[in-house]
Amino acid sequence: MQGVWTPDQVREAEQRLFARTPEPAVMRRAAHAVAVQCARLLSEQTGGVAGRRVALLVGAGNNGGDALWAGAFLRRRGVGVTAVLLAPDKAHPAGLEGLRRAGGRAVPAEGAGADTTGIGAEAADALERADLVVDGIVGLSARGALRPVAAELVRRVIVPIVAVDLPSGVDPTTGAVDGPAVSADLTVTFGGLKPCHVLGTGAVRSGEVTTVGIGVTEELPEPELSLLDAADIGENWPVPGPEDDKYSTGVVGIAAGSATYPGAAVLATGAAVRATAGMVRYAGPAADEVRARWPETVATGSIGDAGRVQAWSVGPGIGTGASGRDVLRFVLESGRPVCADADSITILAEDEAMWDSRDPDAPLVLTPHAGEFARLSGAELGADRVGEAREVAARFDAFVLLKGNTTVIAAPDGRVLVNDARQAWPATAGSGDVLTGLIGALLATGVEPLLTCGYAAHVHSLAAEIAAHGATADGPRSEAGAPIGASALLDAVPAAIRAVRDAALPS
Ligand SMILES: NC(=O)C1=CN([C@@H]2O[C@H](COP(=O)(O)OP(=O)(O)OC[C@H]3O[C@@H](n4cnc5c(N)ncnc54)[C@H](OP(=O)(O)O)[C@@H]3O)[C@@H](O)[C@H]2O)[C@@H](O)CC1
Ligand SMILES: Nc1ncnc2c1ncn2[C@@H]1O[C@H](COP(=O)(O)OP(=O)(O)O)[C@@H](O)[C@H]1O
Ligand SMILES: [K+]
């Protein structure tokens, strides 16, 4: 499990560190790590370090200070370094002095010979000749998108960019981008990951992220968010042991589909069949279709005849009319853990009385996409997806899995897991039904709901990636990939489970 800390948590940890280690020493550690990564990238991209040229984009604060000191270290390795100062009066004095002493130069962003964009001739020339650019415009204190001069400088860059701490222009806390922002090839961050490195557009703009401790890591509190590693999931994915039988590993009930939407039933049931080893029961109007596709399920037309289960998945394709409501009420009254998706979320959002059916001791997982989330919360989803998911989870005393390219999973007690899909192949109709089936199956085996959601989201996005890039049976793996449907995603679920289980094997 990897932790993610808010800017405030990092700042407080930094203050604790300063009590032991003077601030300039900490900054030089940070800057040295940036310089090492720049040298590595220069070597990879140009075949060497000495004689290459680096431009530093330097803002008004310590982020710029890191960049200036990194420039001083690079200078000592024979790199030609020019700092482009966005706020010459505020540039970090010690960093600037360090760079100059090492033989680097500094020029104002808006200097003599400016063209219509306001960028000075020397700054323009430094950017044009650079083999690599370091983004030290703004870091943890960033507010909003890049201002016009910074945006114009960044627009001109055609070489790789190394971002100091985070790509400038990205909101450190939400990862949102609301205007011009840096797209880094590599981000070197300090102490630990910040939300902007793992959430939404910020995750994409960060490029590869390298974390360096610099003494701050030891001072950090419990992380605000966590990311699961493949090995965490593989180690704990439920598989049958020698003493198990079809009942002991957990029976899941799927209440999904309708005459109009039998596909939702087939997909959710299939996901449950593929996720875990126990038994899958299906109850609903698509029993014939489910039986035909998944002969191993025990299928019935009526929820009252479903038989005993350890958890329910309910919602996809059930509709929001009287029969859908009856099904949801039955499932909520069962006292079992429930994953409520799609139409069942809409019903819960519209009908307060439905909550009365719920057994308060049974965990409830809600899996909204942005539109369903807005129905639940009562307002359009904003940029702070983590904060909003956490608020709704607490308000409804439910586990909330907010879907999207970055899936945010909030527990009612405030814990949050994040799954970054790293690609968008799951954005296809019916793929949510597959996720519902995976979650129900894991809940039935007794995996804790927050982890259930984290495991399911990871395997779901990995299955999509595997399917899009070509299952081995279809021929060689494709680098570029091709669009898939939800059925192909479902077919790749076993391959994704194998991959996470293999990741957990001792190396
Ligand atoms: N934490 C750690 O462990 C360590 C932290 N360290 C480093 O310190 C960094 C934080 O430094 P920091 O707090 O001095 O502020 P920083 O982010 O440089 O911003 C400076 C100023 O920029 C401005 N500005 C704001 N938004 C803007 C925008 N969109 N576009 C343009 N400009 C904008 C705004 O000033 P304004 O112009 O509004 O007066 C703001 O005050 C951190 O990221 C890391 O690199 C390491 O050295 C050591 C270990
Ligand atoms: N752009 C995207 N990148 C990665 N995953 C996505 C993206 N858009 C949607 N997904 C994932 O695909 C699934 C879609 O679920 P949902 O919206 O309920 O679709 P449906 O109702 O058609 O089954 C969710 O798991 C969601 O996280
Ligand atoms: K930066």
Q: Average pLDDT of each block of 10 consecutive residues along the chain (507 residues)?
A: 96 95 96 98 97 98 98 98 98 98 97 88 97 98 96 97 98 96 98 95 96 96 95 97 93 96 97 96 97 98 96 98 97 98 98 95 98 97 96 98 97 96 94 98 98 98 94 68 96 96 94
Confirm or deny that 349 is annotated as ligand binding.
no
Give CA angle at 227 (173, 208), nearest 5°: 70
Ligand 1 lined by 70 (C-beta under 6 Å):
no
Ligand 1 lined by 137 (C-beta under 6 Å):
yes
Confirm or deny that 258 is annotated as ligand binding.
no
Q: Could you give the CA distance from residue 138 to residue 23 in angstroms, rounded to a whole number?
A: 18
- At 414, list the tokens: 């405030």
- Say how many Å lie between the CA of residue 484 and the centre of ligand 2: 13
Ligand 1 lined by 312 (C-beta under 6 Å):
no
**In the prediction, which pLDDT does 377 show?**
97
Q: What is the dihedral angle through the alpha carbons of 274, 462, 393, 366, rounded to the nearest 10 degrees?
A: -40
Ligand 2 lined by 346 (C-beta under 6 Å):
no
Name the strands in the sheet holding 399-402, side by side, starting at the edge strand that comes first in the sequence: 2-4, 225-227, 416-420, 406-410, 399-402, 364-366, 338-340, 311-314, 251-255, 279-283, 298-300
Looking at residue 198, its amino acid is V
Which ligand places an atom closest to the C-alpha of 169?
1
Ligand 1 lined by 59 (C-beta under 6 Å):
yes
Q: What is the complex's ipTM, to 2 decimals?
A: 0.94
Cα–Cα distances (Å) from 122 to 64, 107, 452, in that order, read 19, 7, 56
**In the prediction, which pLDDT does 472 show?**
56
Confirm or deny that 46 is annotated as ligand binding.
no
- At 143, list the tokens: 């507010």
Q: Could you give the CA distance from residue 296 to residue 361 in angstroms, rounded to a whole number?
A: 31
- Say how many Å lie between the CA of residue 6 and the centre of ligand 1: 15
Give the nearest ligand 1 atom to 13 CA: 3
Beta bridge partners of 364: 338
Q: What is the pTM of this model?
A: 0.93
Ligand 1 lined by 188 (C-beta under 6 Å):
no
Give CA angle at 302 (491, 356), nearest 5°: 95
Give the nearest ligand 1 atom to 145 CA: 29
Which ligand places an atom closest to the C-alpha of 144?
1
**In the prediction, which pLDDT does 473 show?**
52
Q: Could you give the CA distance from residue 150 to residue 123 in angstroms, rounded to a whole number?
A: 12
For ligand 1, atom 37, name the residue with the nearest CA.
Answer: 60
**In the prediction, which pLDDT does 477 show?**
81
Q: Which residues touch 303 (CB under 8 Å, ≥6 apart)? A: 255, 283, 284, 326, 327, 330, 331
Confirm or deny that 353 is annotated as ligand binding.
no
Confirm or deny that 168 is annotated as ligand binding.
yes
**In the prediction, which pLDDT does 342 show?**
98
Give the nearest ligand 1 atom to 31 CA: 47
Domains of the chain, each with CATH number or no CATH = 2-227 (3.40.50.10260), 239-446 (3.40.1190.20)
